[in-house]
Amino acid sequence: MKKRILAVLLGLSMIVLAACGTKPTLGGQTTAAEKTTAAEKPDDAGETAEETTAAPAGEDQVVIRTTFMEGELSRELLDKFEEENPGIKVVQEAVDDTKMASLLATQDAPDVMRCIGVYDIPTYVTRRIALDLDEYMNNSEVIDVDDLLPICHVYRYDGTTVGKGPWYGLPKDWSNDFALFYNKTCFDNANIELPSDTEPMTWNEVVELAKKLVIKEGDTTVQYGLGMVENPTMPSFYYLNQYLLSAGENLSSDDNKSMDFTKPVVEDFLTLWNDAVKSNIGPNPVNNDQTGGSDLFIGDKCAMIVTGYWYSGMIRGNEEASKKTASFGMLPTPMVEGGTRVAPTGSATGGFIYSQTKHPEEAWKFFEWYFGGEPVDDRARSGWGLPSFRSKMELLPQNDDFDKQVYRVTLDELNYGDAFIPINPYLGTAGRPMFEKWVDPFIFDRATLEETMQGMTDDANQTISEMVSVLEG
What does the domain layout of the chain look like in residue ranges? 2-174+347-416, 180-331
pLDDT digits (tens, 9 = 90+) for 370-418: 999 999 999 999 999 999 999 999 999 999 999 999 999 999 999 999 9
Domains 2-174+347-416 and 180-331 share a fold: yes
Q: Tell me the three state secondary structure of residue 319.
A: coil
Quick one: pLDDT at residue 60? Answer: 82
DSSP 30: -
Do 77 and 30 form a contact (C-beta atoms < 8 A)? no
Query: What's the average model confidence in pLDDT over 54-64?
Result: 77
Residue 29 has pLDDT above 70, yes or no: no
How large a percentage of the chain has pLDDT more than 70?
87
DSSP string, 101-156: HHHHHTT---SEEEEEHHHHHHHHHHTT-BPP-HHHHHH-SS--GGGB-GGGGGGE
Residue 253 has pLDDT above 90, yes or no: yes
Residue 120 has pLDDT above 60, yes or no: yes
Do 51 and 110 form a contact (C-beta atoms < 8 A)? no
| Sign, CA torsion 105/108/112/113 | negative
Return the minimum-mean-pLDDT range out of 40-49, 351-360, 401-410, 457-466: 40-49
Do 154 and 345 form a contact (C-beta atoms < 8 A)? yes
Between these two residues, 98 and 26, which has the higher pLDDT value? 98
Residue 54 has pLDDT above 90, yes or no: no
By CB atoms closer than 10 A (0-12, 13-18, 19+), residue 226 is buried
Do 32 and 69 form a contact (C-beta atoms < 8 A)? no
Do 226 and 233 form a contact (C-beta atoms < 8 A)? yes
Residue 254 has pLDDT above 80, yes or no: yes
pLDDT digits (tens, 9 = 90+) for 133-144: 999 999 999 999
Return the minimum-mean-pLDDT range out of 75-84, 88-97, 432-441: 88-97
Q: Does domain 180-331 have CATH number 2.60.40.10?
A: no
Query: What's the average model confidence in pLDDT over 107-111?
Result: 95
Q: How far is residue 381's CA from residue 138's CA, in Å, rounded to a whole number?
A: 27
How large a percentage of the chain has pLDDT more than 90?
83
Provide CB contacts within 8 A for 49, sequence distance 6+.
93, 94, 95, 96, 99, 100
Quick one: pLDDT at residue 14? Answer: 43
Confidence grade of residue 3 (pLDDT, cut at 50, 70, 90): very low
Average pLDDT value for the chain: 89
Confidence grade of residue 30 (pLDDT, cut at 50, 70, 90): very low
| Identity of residue 437 | K
Matching CATH number, 2-174+347-416, of 3.20.20.150, 3.40.190.10, 3.90.850.10, 1.10.3720.10:
3.40.190.10
Q: How far is residue 212's CA from residue 207's CA, in Å, rounded to a whole number?
A: 9
Q: Tell me the three state secondary structure of residue 215.
A: strand
Q: How far is residue 470's CA from residue 473's CA, in Å, rounded to a whole number?
A: 5
pLDDT digits (tens, 9 = 90+) for 147-203: 999 999 999 999 999 999 999 999 999 999 999 999 999 999 999 999 999 999 999
DSSP 40: P
How much is the pTM?
0.88
